[in-house]
Structure 1
Amino acid sequence: MTITTDPTVPPRTSAQIYQRLRSHLAFLKMGAAAEALSGVLDAARQEGTSELEAIEQLLAIEVDATENRQQASRLHFANLPAPWGIDDYDFSAQPGVDEKLIRELATLRFLDDAANVILIGQPGVGKTMLSICLARAAAEAGHKAYFTTCEDLVRRLKKAVAEHRFQTGLRFFAQPRLLVIDEFGYRKLDEDGRSLLFEVVNTRYLKGSIITTSHVGINGWAERLGDPMLAAALIDRLLHRGIIVGIDGPSYRMRSHQARADALRKAAAHGTPVTGKAVRS
């Protein structure tokens, strides 16, 4: 193909081309590339970088900025109550956790099989923290994840039913690749609540992963749900591709309280004031 130029049109200056390029980037909403344009061009001149390399650098900057925005959006949507990552969990202080298993779950391969994870243990052993860590890992890896408590999930779906938009409410909990349902069995559910919880689990069955945390063993779910048949159906779906993680160890909160009490006793003995620190629960 031959490119011809109109001799009656004067050639554009470098300044005009530069402004035109900035205009193109702005139109395409490539703000990071537009902001970096001047620096990339200066570096290309100083280092003798080819035009092709300069374009690649410019686009790489925009790609990084876009990925960062998308990740921030996923983390915002995930509704995580704390910013914990898997490396924040103190495995040495919680011998009841199978670190090798948790590290394997953190690879997120269970999402490929739409498998479920059930974290069971007494209050304070770190179940919620681990569920947050895994949900954060999923969001950072590019998956849509959402964290909710069992009570809040039921409350929101009851509200959706009352407002004649149940299907919309159900889709909200069905769409994420990973759904965390915290505090399962913490409070007994009424008949409507039990049915709504089952609808969520059933809709996600073999399609999306669920992480549940519970201080009640699976054998006690029927009593907590108040409906043995529904509990059996719910357990069947969760365990079909389910991984049970039992945590039999000391409570983080009790250990923190004990450490605080010990510090106060030592301070009182030496007449030293003690400043408080936030304690992870």
Structure 2
Amino acid sequence: MNQIEKIKLHADALRLTQTRNNPEGIIHEAQINKPTYMEFLLSVFECEIKHREKKNIERRIALANLPKDHDLDKYDFNASNGITPSHLKQLRELMWMEQNYNLILMGPSGTGKTFIAAGLIYDAVNTGYKAYFITMEELIKTLKMKEMISSALAKYNRLLKANIIAIDDIMLFPIKKEDAVSFFNLINHLHEQTSVIITTNKSPKEWAETLEDEVLATALLDRLLYRCEVVKMKGQSFRMENRRTIFEPVR
């Protein structure tokens, strides 16, 4: 076994991925730049740390369950939908999370609620927080199946340990009583220890109708609205305004 093979073997044992994958390149660069022993060792460690940080962020982004579009740097402020650049900038700073504030994005479909919620989760992950995005439909399934399926229990436990959660399309469909109770229990557990982002096309007053239980709706809203910013989105649906067609334009 030559020295390069030994380096790869030892690097693999120590999980030094970058060193294991490219020892020749690292040595060749050192031969050109001629760093001191200390500079060389430091550069190897820094390279490994950057690689681990990158992989860690990629792993957490994958776990965050984000929809395809979630980069708020691409947000279109030309669409007049009720949120200003300064307000979005303040939300992206995530200082409100330090006080366990919640955020409700309320308005018609297609006005950017899901995009903003997913973007804030993406920002939170990149900042180092444990953050997750989940639809109401997926959440109800998780709550139902957590006692029977290990993957559902693992997802539920991640939600319990999160710093911030976005729940998309709350109250879009009627919810069975037992599911509503499970949802309340989750929100009650997260209350004042995890920030929750809600997207909904219904006002809080309409939640009682969807839940078919005014007492439960009141208790749920009491916890969500205690420390909460409500952003009312407005305007026309971005999807409808930018609807595509398979047909050629008529001439």
Distance 1:264 1:165 in 2: 43
- Residues 81 and 111, structure 2, Cα contact 8 Å, conserved in 1: no
1:155 corresponds to which of 129, 141, 165: 141
Structure of greater Rg: 1
Give the 3 Å change call, closer, same or farther, for CA 164–232 of structure 1 in structure 2.
Answer: farther
| Mapping 1:116-155, distance limit 5 Å | 116-155=102-141
More deviation in 218-227 or 122-131? 218-227
Alignment counterpart, residue 62 of structure 1, candidates 48, 56, 62? 48
Task: Please list every run of 5 or more consecutive structure 2 residues that lacks an aligned counterpart in the other structure.
Answer: none
Residue 37 of structure 1 contacts residue 58 of structure 1 at CA under 8 Å; is this kept in 2?
no
Q: Is the 8 A contact 2:169 2:201 kept in 1?
A: yes
Q: Distance in 1 between matches of 2:150 and 2:175?
A: 21
Please say if 1:268 is aligned against 2:250: yes
**Residues 1:47 and 2:33 aligned together:** yes
The letter of the residue matching 2:181 is: S
- The CA deviation at 1:167 is 7.7
Give 2:24's aligned residue.
Answer: 38
Aligned-residue identity in percent: 27
Structure-1 separation of matches of 2:29 and 2:148: 61
Unaligned runs of 5+ in 1: 1-14, 270-281
8 Å CA contact retained: 1:125, 1:251? yes
**2:14 aligned to which of 28, 42, 47:** 28
Partner-residue secondary structure (3-state), 2:231: strand
C-alpha distance in 1 between matches for 2:35 and 2:193 = 48
Partners of 1:121 and 1:48 in 2: how far apart?
61
Correspondent of 1:182 among 168, 171, 186: 168
Query: What TM-score results when the alignment is normalised by the length of structure 1?
Result: 0.80
| 1:227-280 Cα shifts (integer Å, max 9, x gaps) | 1111111111111121111112221022113xx47x968x312xxxxxxxxxxx
Matched, 1:102 2:84: no
Which AA in structure 2 matches 1:213? T
What do residues 170-218 of structure 1 show as CA deviations (whole Å, max 9, x unaligned)?
5342112111111101011111011011011111011111111000012
Partner of 1:6: none
Contact 1:41 1:54 in 2 (8 A): no
RMSD of the alignment, in Å? 2.5
Compared CA separation, residues 177 and 162, structure 1 to 2 (3 A): same
Contact 1:222 1:232 in 2 (8 A): yes
RCO comparison, higher one (Cα < 8 Å, 6+): 2
The Cα of 1:22 is off from its aligned counterpart by 3.9
Query: Residues 179-258 of structure 1: matches in 2 within 5 Å?
Result: 179-257=165-243
Residue aligned with 2:105, SS: strand
Equivalent residue of 2:82, what SS? coil
Partner of 1:11: none
Contact 2:69–2:115 (CA under 8 A) maintained in structure 1: no
Partner of 2:100: 114
- What is the one-letter code of the residue matched to 1:35? N
Count of aligned positions: 250
TM-score, normalization by structure 2: 0.89
Residue type of the alignment partner of 2:57: Q
Q: How far apart, in 1, do the equivalents of 2:56 and 2:227 lie?
A: 30
